[in-house]
Amino acid sequence: MTNAPQLILASASPRRLALLQQVGLEPDHLLPADVDETPKKHETPRALALRLARAKAEAVRKTVDASEEMRDGVVLAADTVVGVGRRILPKAEVTDQALMCLSMLSGRGHRVFTGVAVAEPNGKLRTKLVETRVRFKRLSRQDMDDYIASGEWRGKAGGYAIQGLAGSFVVKLVGSYPAVVGLPLAETVNLLQSAGYPVHKSWASA
């Protein structure tokens, strides 16, 4: 397809970029969204994931609309939230947060909500929320201490990265594995196709 619209990823996450590249999508621009990710009072994990995905897409859409080079592009944004019941686990930044998350997740199931939003040049915003259920084995204090020592948890929703060392903690997963990593691929591709983006344009030479 000629004159395909540009793809703008509203994220600095190397994991989301790698997932897009896995299905042959190479963003033309990486424009991380600067939005307040603080949950609202009584907000559920599900509602937060979708709200933040929308907010990121809308924030970057404003930037893109002001750029002659990018204004015809399609903006893709996502946010991942880990929840235990109605409780939202933080994106752990300090060891105390990581230990709290791992202690809560040990030996029990939790849900990972990933919201995806696609903002089109015409102002239309398409969204999708994907829910995945994950269960951890019972973690020993040694498991937790060793994982915290790895530093892999830093900045990760729920204090873990399923695609890394913490994959050894997972005994069951129902839903979308890439959504837990940060971007549900089937749903993202569907949203982009609905927005008129040629997601298969690179497949012929793959």
Please give the full DSSP string across the chain, using - where no structure is assigned: --SPPPEEE----HHHHHHHHHTT---SEE-------PPPTT--HHHHHHHHHHHHHHHHHHHHHT-TTTTTSEEEEEEEEEEETTEEPPB--SHHHHHHHHHHHTTSEEEEEEEEEEE-TTS-EEEEEEEEEEEEPPPPHHHHHHHHHHTTTTT-BTT--TTTGGGGGEEEEES-HHHHHT--HHHHHHHHHHTT--TTTTGGG-
CA distances from 56 to 44, 108, 134, 165 (A): 18, 31, 26, 29
Catalytic-role residue among 36, 79, 96, 145: 79
Active site residue 79: yes
> How far is the C-alpha of 127 from the C-alpha of 77, rounded, in Å?
9
Which residue's structure tokens are 């019972």?
138
Residues labelled as active-site residues: 79
